[in-house]
Amino acid sequence: LHGGNIVLHSDNGSETEKDFRTSRPLICDFGLSRSVNSRESNPTIRGVFPFIAPEVFHTRKFTTKSDIYSFGIVMYLIATGEQPFRDRQFDTSLICDITSGLRPSMP
């Protein structure tokens, strides 16, 4: 995804990673993507909360590192078959805990 140093996906999640009956996952839905060189921040955070990197809640800026965090959460979902933070409501309390270091536990 970042090999060409061109695009930040900014919205990785289980719905944007598709298999299409091949042995290779495909990343799709680039609707929120932007140039890696973009210095633009987002007044409104868009995306799927469990997949948004903690620093995005502070900086309102997506980076290659935030894409990698999101991809890690996708890998968690694949490895466990369960949503991260499945025992919590997706609200400001959970966001505060995530920005303070909370990470999904492995079952």
pLDDT in tens, 24-74: 666 665 555 655 566 666 666 667 777 888 888 877 777 778 888 888 888
Q: Phi-psi category of 5—alpha, beta or left, where left has phi over 0 and alpha has psi -120 to 50?
A: left
pLDDT of 97 reads: 93
The DSSP bridge partners found for residue 27 are 17
Taking the complete model, does pTM exceed 0.85, yes or no?
no
Single-letter amino acid code for the residue at 85:
F
Domain residues of the chain, as ranges? 7-99
CATH class entry, domain 7-99: mainly alpha
pLDDT in tens, 58-70: 777 777 788 888 8
pLDDT of 30 reads: 57
Residues annotated as part of the active site = 11
| Residue among 85, 68, 89 nearest 77 (CA) | 85
Q: What is the CA radius of gyration of the chain?
A: 14
Q: Residues of the chain with pLDDT > 70: what percent?
A: 56
Distance CA 68, CA 1 (A): 10
